[in-house]
Structure 1
Amino acid sequence: MSALEWLLLTYKVPAEPARKRVSIWRKLKGMGAVYLQGGVCVLPKTDDHLRRLKVLENEIAEAEGEALLLATVGLDQKQQEKIIARFNADRDDEYKEFIEKCIAFEAEIAEETRVQHFTFAELEENEQELTKFKTWIAKIQKLDFYTAERAREAQERLTRSEEILDAYAHNVFAAQEENRPTEGAKS
């Protein structure tokens, strides 16, 4: 494995107002940054990350804080692997939560099927939930810089959820067809 470069940001901001400190933390987490310790984080070195960290550096200065932005590499293969493991652990935590929500989604559809609650309203609600799952996994994948262990499992779980919803949709349409009056039937 060739040496990977990272961007290292160290920063301090005043404790008050807390909203500024929290805003900076959220932006860094939203970029997929890994904290090595309080106020010290790393991201893979990319032009996009560099640009975004430069903007954040200005925001830290406006909050009357201090920031130092450096490009760095691990001293050896073991150090590099430790950093990658930290990135992957963060993504695996997110994938785990995603998988748990998919399992709950599938259980809900199984219950709706068991009680034969086949309505268009329920189908629409479940389709909206699946759309949220697709957006959610895309966000996680965007920050999965080193292909975390649970990435494949999460994608497979999403596919399974889609298949289960498709089967439920088939049942909804079949049930609605059964409830339609046939031609020539008297009202």
Structure 2
Amino acid sequence: MQEWLLLVYKIPSEPSRYRAAVWRRIKSLGAVYLQNGVCVLPYGRDTERQFRMLWKEIEDYGGEAFLIRGTLLAPAEGIIKLFNMARDEEYAEIIDRCEDFFKEIEAETESRHFTYAELEENEEDLAKLEKWLKKVMERDFFQASLAEKTKELLQECRTRLDEFADMVFTCEDSMQKKP
């Protein structure tokens, strides 16, 4: 039976940066809100450690927090659906960025802009996408539906970048041969 960690917290309204910091931290952990000030994560040593650190942070901000570990008496499908919806939103953002990446490669190819600077810029963009995907996958506790599509599109980005690199190298090689 799945165990859960429930963080219930309250933070003073001012300064607002404390609330924003906690919200960002909760989002980065992959937790979902059940209601305002109540969020949940599947239990695990790592998730407990992260929530305990956040609990301490909330208290340092002058707030109060309670951390509860337990099982859900009603079916967990509703909570799992919330997790998968949150991850699918993140995957959808990456998918959109992959589409932008494809358009960028196409534009550079059509304009025959085969330079090492463009290749390096595209490498950096792809590295950011790969890093982002890794973070989302680490908090995808229940295998959201867009995970596989996102991985496939990222692989397609890698393939297109490799093809673009080949064109850059071919162009550079031909420039080297000219007297």
Give, in angstroms, the shift of residue 62 of structure 1.
2.0
The residue number in structure 2 matching 1:120 is 116
Secondary structure (helix, strand or coil) at the match of 1:11 reads strand
Give, in angstroms, the shift of residue 181 of structure 1.
3.1
Q: Report the TM-score, using the length of structure 1 for normalisation.
A: 0.92
Give, in angstroms, the shift of residue 132 of structure 1.
0.8
Tell me which of 16, 19, 32 is aligned to 1:18.
16
The residue number in structure 2 matching 1:109 is 105
Q: Does 1:167 align with 2:163?
A: yes
Secondary structure (helix, strand or coil) at the match of 1:180 reads helix
The residue number in structure 1 matching 2:142 is 146
Secondary structure (helix, strand or coil) at the match of 1:67 reads strand
Give, in angstroms, the shift of residue 88 of structure 1.
0.5
Q: Map 1:19-168 to 2 at 5 A.
A: 19-77=17-75, 80-168=76-164
> Which amino acid in structure 1 is aligned with residue 53 of structure 2?
V
Of the structure 1 ranges 14-23 and 34-43, higher mean CA displacement relative to structure 2 is found in 14-23
Counterparts of 1:163 and 1:66 in 2: how far apart (Å)?
A: 50
Secondary structure (helix, strand or coil) at the match of 2:177 reads coil
Counterparts of 2:52 and 2:146 in 1: how far apart (Å)?
A: 32
Counterparts of 1:56 and 1:130 in 2: how far apart (Å)?
A: 31
5+ residue gaps, structure 1, are none
Give, in angstroms, the shift of residue 102 of structure 1.
0.6
Counterparts of 2:113 and 2:53 in 1: how far apart (Å)?
A: 51
Counterparts of 1:127 and 1:108 in 2: how far apart (Å)?
A: 12
Of the structure 1 ranges 45-54 and 137-146, higher mean CA displacement relative to structure 2 is found in 45-54
Q: Report how many aligned residue pairs link the two structures.
A: 179
Give, in angstroms, the shift of residue 74 of structure 1.
2.2
Of the structure 1 ranges 45-54 and 30-39, higher mean CA displacement relative to structure 2 is found in 45-54
Task: Show CA shifts across 1:4-40 (max 9, x none).
Answer: 1110011101000111111111111111110011100
Give, in angstroms, the shift of residue 99 of structure 1.
0.5
Secondary structure (helix, strand or coil) at the match of 2:33 reads strand
Give, in angstroms, the shift of residue 73 of structure 1.
2.1
> Which amino acid in structure 2 is aligned with residue 31 of structure 1?
L
Identity between Structure 1 and Structure 2 (%): 44
Give, in angstroms, the shift of residue 76 of structure 1.
3.2
> Which amino acid in structure 2 is aligned with residue 179 of structure 1?
M
5+ residue gaps, structure 2, are none
Q: Report the TM-score, using the length of structure 2 for normalisation.
A: 0.96
